[in-house]
Amino acid sequence: MIIFGTGSANLETIQVSNEVCNHCNKEDTIFFSYYRRHVHIFWIPIFPLRKTGRSYCSHCQQTLSPKQMPIGLKTKFKNTKDQVKGSFWQFSGTIIFILLIGLTGYTSSISKKNTTSYLKTPAVGDIYEYRLDSGYYSTMVLKRITRDSLYMALNYYEMPKQSRLYNIDKEKNYRQEIYGFSKEEIKSMKNSGTILNIKRP
């Protein structure tokens, strides 16, 4: 279940000079407190929303929203608000998301390069991930290599998702019998999308 919601963070608190509280008549006791709401997923901030704030008197504790402020105080509030910078960490979720996309793309690129390399220079122990006609996925391990053929031990099990093949890639799950494929067959299976990935332990 995705936990989605909003939160807020205090950006800055600024003392206001030459202002008298209209409630207790004390001077230089008014502060502006600025904060910004943000959208979060699992309490990780994704992106910020609008910036707002309030004033409060440190003497009588009167708190005013911008709409409640006297005109002079409201003008100072708006002018000061423009100078208050947002909090960088409120973009942290977006930054993490971008980094994950970049890392996924980089990992995928490396995996494709490795698969191409392993296809050209196979080694005993290589794990071949492939798609079955049923739409499920399984693995086979390279057991023996000859000049023109590769001999594979097939996995007993299948998975509905390729990303979960690590659950069945265990030595005990591979058959004792081995099946021979010509190197051209293996290349054709890779080109047709039947063989999806080759891993080297």
In a domain, 102, yes or no: no
Tell me the per-residue pLDDT of 153-192, one tens digit each, with 9 for 90 and over: 999 999 999 999 999 999 999 999 999 999 999 999 999 9
How many other C-beta atoms are found inside a 10 Å radius of the C-beta of residue 16? 18
As for how many domains the chain has, the answer is 2
Answer whether residue 42 is part of any domain.
Answer: yes
Over residues 24-28, mean pLDDT: 92
Q: Are 126 and 141 in contact (CB under 8 A)?
A: yes
User: Which of 73, 95, 117 marks a domain boundary?
Assistant: 95
For residue range 53-100, list pLDDT tens digits in order: 999 999 999 999 999 999 999 999 988 887 887 666 656 767 777 788
Q: Is 101 within the bounds of a domain?
A: no
Helix (H) or strand (E) run with residue 156 in it? none
User: What pLDDT band is residue 11 in, cutting at 50, 70 and 90?
Assistant: confident
For residue 182, tell me if it sits in a domain.
yes
Least confident span in 87-91, 103-107, 126-130, 131-135: 87-91
- Contact assessment for residue 37 and residue 6, using Cβ atoms and an 8 Å cutoff: yes
Q: Identify whether residues 22 and 85 lie together within a single domain.
A: yes
100 inside domain: no
Same domain for 74 and 148, yes or no, is no
* Same domain, residue pair 150 and 184: yes
Q: Is 103 within a domain?
A: no
Q: Give the Cα separation of 35 and 71 in Å (integer).
A: 21
Residues 83 and 160 in one domain: no
Asked whether residue 126 is domain-assigned, the answer is yes
Answer whether residue 1 shows pLDDT above 60.
Answer: no
Q: Where would I find the beta strands (DSSP E) of 89-184?
A: 127-131, 137-145, 149-154, 179-182
Instruction: Supply the pLDDT for residue 40.
Output: 67
Q: How confident is the model at residue 107 (pLDDT cuts 50, 70, 90)?
A: confident
Q: Give residue 174's domain range.
A: 109-199
